[in-house]
Structure 1
Amino acid sequence: MKRNLLTLSALFCCAFIIMYILVRGAEPDRIVSDVSRQYNHYRLQTLDTIAFPGRVSIMRAAADQIYGYVYSQKSVFSYNTTQHHLDTFFNARLKALPIITRIEIAADEKTFYLFDDTQQHLTVYTPESKQIDSTGAAGFLTRKGAQLKYNDSTIHEFTHFNDGGLSADGFFVHNSRYQFFIPFYNAGIVKFDPSNHSVATFQTIDQTPPINIAVPTSNYYARSPKAVMVNSTAAADADHLYILSYVLSQDAVKSGYRGPAIDVYNIADTKYAGSFRLPGFKDKPVLQLAKCGDTLIAVYEKDILRFKLAQL
């Protein structure tokens, strides 16, 4: 039980930590890489800003809809980008859930999977018919301890460190074909293809190695105050993986820029394809990303910004 609580804390407190640092004006520890990012491959144009009724801890997007989970209201809200209308999508009136820790959307965009805090049991919601079912985690990667599982089979084991598994903590992103596991604290990305059960790993450009980021406390582990976050959120489309990285590259060190960058990787060969920076907004950190067509969507706490992303 304590292990589950620790894992949940690691997944959901990272954004709070970033926000606290930025609001307080403190200077966090940062990992510096020898790499210099390339910024001449992408261009951003702001399209609009959407205010949600609370801090959006989880965000997904499909077609012209943006879905955001607001924990303070125990509700998932939807926003139609064409009609510019915000509505309640899922709340306790449909089914009471203690906490939603992850939302996934099926490829046909008609079925939604809401994970609980164990990430082992899902609420399956079909909004068209208002049907609600329950199922296991089949169909999506899940993390249990220091392993990745699919259909209850272990597909990847992380290197063991004496930190209760926190060095392997991270989050999931997928497109219509691949599923990705992206760690918070190191450069090792896991790429999984469910169609042939193939597993591949690759390194982000910063090459940050796994390190112990926890300290023993009684019978369990707590995150060390010296833990340095590397990757905080990501998104994927058919061709590219977009990772929001807090690693300082040499170009940032030389210019004095202390903010994050989005590093882009080709999904086919996992090679680095360039970077770009998101604009600041109300001194708030970016908590979530999504990608739909040529639109990149970013959560700045209670506000969601839409950008047109052009590849040059």
Structure 2
Amino acid sequence: MKAAQGNIYGYVYSKKTIFRYNTDLHKIDSFYSSNGIVTRLEIDTNTFYIFDDGENNVTAYGPGKGNAYYLKTIFDSSKKITQLKLRKFSTPTVDSTIYEFPRFEDGGLSADGFYISNHHHQYYISFYNSGIIQYDEKHKSTKLIHTIDRTPPSNIAVPTGNIYTRSSKSVIVNSTATADEEHLYVLSYVLSQDAVKSNYRGPVVDVYNIQSGLYESSFRFPGYQGKPVLQLSKSADTLVAAYENNILLFKLTNK
């Protein structure tokens, strides 16, 4: 799910279609349909990038940035290590390594995560530990940010025959996130002590300063029909939360 210029874009797997909801007109229509599966959607100022199942083919709508890059993880079978690559949209077969994840005998499962971006930075956020990799497009630099739970990387897999499967003891620390020009919003299921004391069991959004990488504050989402928050996006002063069956809009304030 992404939000831009008053519209919310979300992919429905059963329909193989990206739908667009206009928050001003309260209207929904289909934006993009394909026989293949869309696994990722990125939006810059005036261009949409739609990734296929393998993230090797990218469909672009709009003029683009010309030399725009995107992040992609690759498992190097010779080194047995996961690498974070930087690729050009125009030549997706050419890439460079900007980060290597800690090596575990788990086929790369410990490095699993997800991508988000704003107009200036791109992020790869780990599911199972506190590591967030920030790539600064303007300065072509990489920075490692740690979330406040400080969960270290670890082997989260068990061997099953010739493959690895995720251990039942592994915990998803960061489930989704979004960013604007100043802040990174990370949905964390690692509860703070005050949340535990108040018997709160819902998701908490931790807010980080993009420039310093430091934690600033947290806030909690209200429960809604007992369903979890699956995805986040932000447009202007509105935080968009996709629950299991509904999408809710929250106005953010500086209080």
Question: TM-score of the superposition, structure 2-length normalised?
Answer: 0.90
Q: Give the C-alpha shift of residue 117 in structure 1.
A: 1.7
Q: RMSD of the TM alignment (CA)? A: 1.6
1:146-186 CA-to-partner distances (Å, cap 9, x unmatched) read 11100210000001011111111100111110111100000
Find 1:102's aligned residue among 14, 23, 40: 40
Structure with greater contact order relative to length (CA < 8 Å, sep ≥ 6): 1
1:10-69 CA-to-partner distances (Å, cap 9, x unmatched) read xxxxxxxxxxxxxxxxxxxxxxxxxxxxxxxxxxxxxxxxxxxxxxxxx10001110010
**Letter in structure 1 aligned against 2:196:** V
Question: In proportion to residue count, which structure has more helix?
Answer: 1
In 1, are the aligned partners of 2:203 and 2:229 still within 8 Å (CA)?
no
In 2, are the aligned partners of 1:100 and 1:115 still within 8 Å (CA)?
yes
- Corresponding residue of 1:213: 156
- Corresponding residue of 1:180: 123
Q: How does 1:262-277 map to 2 (within 5 A)?
A: 262-277=205-220
Find 1:227's aligned residue among 163, 166, 170: 170
Query: What secondary structure does 2:18 align onto?
Result: strand
* Percent identity for Structure 1 against Structure 2: 56
**Letter in structure 2 aligned against 1:297:** V
Structure 2: where are the runs of 5+ without partners?
76-81, 88-94
Q: Give the C-alpha shift of residue 305 in structure 1.
A: 0.6
In 2, are the aligned partners of 1:189 and 1:204 still within 8 Å (CA)?
yes
**Letter in structure 1 aligned against 2:72:** T
- Corresponding residue of 1:71: 13
Distance 1:283 1:271 in 2: 31
In 2, are the aligned partners of 1:104 and 1:112 still within 8 Å (CA)?
yes
In 2, are the aligned partners of 1:138 and 1:150 still within 8 Å (CA)?
no
Question: In proportion to residue count, which structure has more strand?
Answer: 2
Is 1:91 aligned with 2:33?
yes
Equivalent residue pairs, number: 240
Is 1:296 aligned with 2:206?
no
Question: TM-score of the superposition, structure 1-length normalised?
Answer: 0.74
**Letter in structure 2 aligned against 1:144:** I
Query: What secondary structure does 1:233 align onto?
Result: strand
**Letter in structure 1 aligned against 2:159:** P
In 2, are the aligned partners of 1:231 and 1:245 still within 8 Å (CA)?
yes
Q: Give the C-alpha shift of residue 302 in structure 1.
A: 2.6
Find 1:191's aligned residue among 109, 134, 141: 134
In 2, are the aligned partners of 1:120 and 1:142 still within 8 Å (CA)?
no
- Corresponding residue of 1:150: 86
In 2, are the aligned partners of 1:260 and 1:277 still within 8 Å (CA)?
yes
Find runs of 4+ consecutive structure 1 residues off by over 3 angstroms: none
- Corresponding residue of 1:34: none
- Corresponding residue of 2:71: 141
